[in-house]
Structure 1
């Protein structure tokens, strides 16, 4: 039986736990006891009590912190943005970094009691827009021969901490040991340089949209770095000046093109051969060649977003770029409906050159737009926040809890011996604890699974996604946009679970990474203060031109 708390006050709604009452089978089957307990029963009860008391004193751990304690703890923040308060008997007045605290709380003995059934199939976790992405990418390759292909790859950086090894860092990013071995090769000198880590040193990784490592950069001296990059033959390496390889979208696209260009056409042709017909290609070329500086796309009944956009004259490469621009803001498989519109503004009269602005007007979602900042070539919303960046809280709850099962992509089942990856971290939260969105995003999945119970998948900007399992209540629906701090669920004990807890995952381009360790973006990328005034003027100009119909092609 569940006891629901009144939601008349926001405070109570946010912080009051939902309780569960349990009745034993014996109580149900027996009406009344026949009399007082025997001496044997009394001895057993008191013996159990003293054993429990002794264990409680020995471990000195609270199973659950009170609501009052959680609110006191919420007044203190660590540098990750997570709310935390050190124990009262801590001799130091300094706050302990949460990742460091959690990393040391799980012993080998506790690992033997991990939840071994946390997990969802690839189908359950698949991006709802994944099929659209594949089809558009394949069509871009087959039809836009004269245009540069746009890839989706994510730059990540990790700072070496005490106790790190190159293997442990790769493990935290869920990059296999075989990838590391293939990348380094048999050169003893290179192995030595890669294994030589210094605290505070920064390592850079480029991960593709399918989770494959494309580039790895490591500093080897005060003036030099070694860069490993993927190509058709595996991995190659080059020594270069420190900081000479820019970690931006252009280098990411070039690295992805080098890694995939030779093999992707044959694979993608199988996916797209059926829908790509000669008339469709001819229509695309005709519309593309005759389009104006402004292109209006209207979604007709029975059309997909990509079909409507291509019919209006937007190339598949441009469609792919627009989808990446609005990742984490629009779920194209759910949010786009008949009657919705998109306006695309180019910087040249004949619809050539760069995209200057894109504006969606959605039946479910209203207006969503992005604008080019000429100073750096990146796209921002009207407030100057980059659409492909995001701000993350370290964890999606406000409570003092302990890790009951750590991140371990190479975990072996204690009985079968088979590798059963644990792609997230389990936190021992009481049933009903508030779970909130750690960053702005869109709800990809909100459903039920036999193993994961009630679960949610959020898609965020910059290739990030987060997963929440064993929930007791869902507060969001698929396709819904959420902001950082919005309540999305309550923790629970549903599905295959050994006790109340939250299974939490952070993924980068679909690859699960260690939520306790991965370096999250702590602030959104914004327009430089010096360029902000010029950008604001540009936005006003873009807004006006987006609805200036004389900029469209004359039919």
Structure 2
């Protein structure tokens, strides 16, 4: 009591403005003690939430305090692990044969003679950086390309981009089709990237190539005059309708329309495939390219099978995004994350992203229980850290089918699903990259397409080997 009286006597002796400042500071301290900053809305007995009034002076003090704390936090290294994800050091090699589907004879033949061409049509609002990010291409290569010719950044909606990468993942060739006759090309050489603008000054004409299967489809198509890239185009276009690796038979006949450039009556380049007519016994397959760049059948129906963007029945929080350029905060080395992690509780049903065949279903020391599904010849999906597998190797699955239950197996910092989308054997951002759709030719253009397709089919049938 004596201490309190002495304190009160001392306060009374203070000047009036000092006493006001002291009482204001005390009120702020009490308010901050009572107020819970992480729960500004308190639950009531009925389950409703009520607001808590905070003195304006307390908000100013709190704002300054948070600003100071934030400044300190930014200078500290990031955590070494991410919640509901994988430790930064646990990097899965996407090219590890453990996670790849075995190649059949046709895929091996194509891999030996041609670089797989990756293609992308520029969408509204897309930049060069956005494209590189979607497909996991090295940003260092993008900056080198810009240094060679800054016009590479000038992308317009609808322009077609095409590139190939080397064994180390570097961009080997990159091209932009600016118009029907102008193509910008960038080629990696020993001295760096070289830029050329190619202009097709001749006349583009359709040429028909015909053949008969005597050995493999690849060998017979090459003998007919098709290039490896043109064969790759046909294989991918028909991957859901006709498998040239498994279904092509000796005696099958085919006719292909390709576009070539002629100067003074002489063919100087080999261009795009426009149409194919293939006869195997009583089975007939016809496809034709539309002006949108996609192939359709004679009735204008799509040849694709669609893929869904999320392999779950509902959306869960993304605990770690696709980032092949991610750096370790301590070592500063690239520690790529080639998939998307969803913070799913253990036992959450995992769904197939599309129709396909299970090519891997096993356990790995880092990936835990995992499943790999092959979708045609162009796409694969991977599902890691699973609790339980519901499929086995060889099973055919359909889009939306339950294939596993999510878990926390392998190297994992919490229950989650690690999901990867692989296109042409390279991991891409499943949340952003354009996915194949099964839509037909737009109704406004379908009747004209069907009419042109019937005429093209009759033309190819007339020159088909007897």
Trace 1:163-174 onto structure 2 (pairs within 5 A).
170-174=132-136
Among 139, 150, 157, which residue is 1:177 paired with? 139
Q: 2:163 matched to 1:207?
A: yes
Cα separation, partners in 2 of 1:344 and 1:445, compared to 1, 3 Å: farther
From 233, 254, 257, the equivalent of 1:344 is 254
C-alpha distance 376-501 of structure 1, shift in aligned 2 (>3 A): closer
The verdict on how the C-alpha distance between 1:132 and 1:168 changes in structure 2, with shifts beyond 3 A counting, is same
Verify the 8 A CA contact 1:137 1:320 in the aligned structure 2: no
Within 5 Å, give how 1:437-456 maps onto structure 2.
437-441=352-356, 443-456=358-371
Kept in 2, the 8 Å contact 1:345–1:356? The answer is yes
Shift in Å at residue 402 of structure 1? 1.3
**Cα deviation 1:223-247 (Å, max 9, x = unaligned):** xxx986312544355899xxx99xx
Q: Distance in 2 between matches of 1:476 and 1:157?
A: 38
Equivalent pairs counted in the alignment come to 363
Asked if 2 retains the 8 angstrom alpha-carbon contact of 1:329 and 1:460, the reply is: no
Question: Which structure is larger by alpha-carbon Rg, 1 or 2?
Answer: 2
CA-CA distance at 1:426 after TM superposition = 0.9
1:379 aligned onto 2:295:
yes
Residue equivalent to 1:527:
441
1:457 equivalent in structure 2: 372
For residues 216 and 345 of structure 1, the distance between their equivalents in structure 2, rounded to whole angstroms, comes to 29
Q: How far, CA to CA, are the matches of 1:202 and 1:544 in structure 2?
A: 31
Identify the match of residue 119 of structure 1 among 85, 88, 92. Answer: 92
Residue in structure 2 matched with residue 325 of structure 1 by the alignment: 237
1:185 partner SS: helix
SS of aligned partner of 2:137:
coil
* Distance (whole Å) between structure 1 residues aligned to residue 125 and residue 337 of structure 2: 23
**Structure (1/2) with the larger strand percentage:** 2
RCO comparison, higher one (Cα < 8 Å, 6+): 1
SS in 1 for 2:174: strand
TM-score (norm 2): 0.57
Q: Distance in 2 between matches of 1:382 and 1:514?
A: 33
Aligned pairs for 1:5-404 (under 5 A) are 112-113=82-83, 114-116=85-87, 117=90, 119-122=92-95, 123-126=97-100, 128-129=102-103, 132-136=106-110, 138=112, 152-157=117-122, 160=125, 170-185=132-147, 190=150, 205-208=161-164, 212=171, 214-215=173-174, 229-231=185-187, 233=189, 234-236=192-194, 297=213, 306=218, 309=220, 317=228, 319-327=231-239, 336=246, 343-346=253-256, 355-358=275-278, 369-372=285-288, 379-381=295-297, 384-387=300-303, 391-404=306-319
Change beyond 3 A, Cα 1:127–1:386: farther
C-alpha contact 1:228 1:236 (8 A) present in aligned 2: no
Deviation at 1:429, TM superposition (A): 1.6
Report if the CA contact (8 A) 1:137-1:316 is conserved.
Answer: no
Per-residue CA deviations over 1:207-256 (Å, capped at 9, x if unaligned) read: 3376636437699xxxxxx986312544355899xxx99xxxx9xxxxxx
| C-alpha distance in 2 between matches for 1:533 and 1:186 | 45
Aligned pairs for 1:464-483 (under 5 A) are: 464-471=379-386, 472-475=388-391, 477-478=393-394, 480=396, 482-483=397-398
Return the TM-score normalized by structure 1.
0.49
1:514–1:159 Cα change, 3 Å: farther
Instruction: Summarize deviations over 1:34-67 as a string: whole Å, max 9, x none.
Output: xxxxxxxxxxxxxxxxxxxxx9x8699xxxxxxx
> 1:405 matched to which residue of 2?
320
Given that 1:435 and 1:491 are in contact with CA atoms closer than 8 Å, whether structure 2 keeps it comes out as yes
Q: Which residue of 1 aligns with 2:339?
A: 424
For 2:423 and 2:248, how far apart are their aligned partners in 1? 32
Q: Is the 8 A contact 1:446 1:457 kept in 2?
A: yes
Q: Which runs of 5+ in 1 are unaligned?
A: 1-54, 61-87, 90-106, 142-149, 220-225, 251-290
Structure 2: state its 5+ residue gaps.
1-35, 42-47, 50-76, 259-272
Q: How large is the RMSD of aligned CA atoms in angstroms?
A: 5.5
Q: Deviations over 1:12-42 (max 9, x none)?
A: xxxxxxxxxxxxxxxxxxxxxxxxxxxxxxx
Cα distance change, pair 507–545 in 1 and its aligned pair in 2 (3 A) = same
Once the two structures are TM-superposed, the CA of residue 118 in structure 1 deviates from its matched residue by 5.5
With over 3 angstroms needed to count, the CA separation of the structure-2 counterparts of 1:329 and 1:503, relative to structure 1, is farther
Cα contact 1:157–1:519 (8 A) shared by 2: no
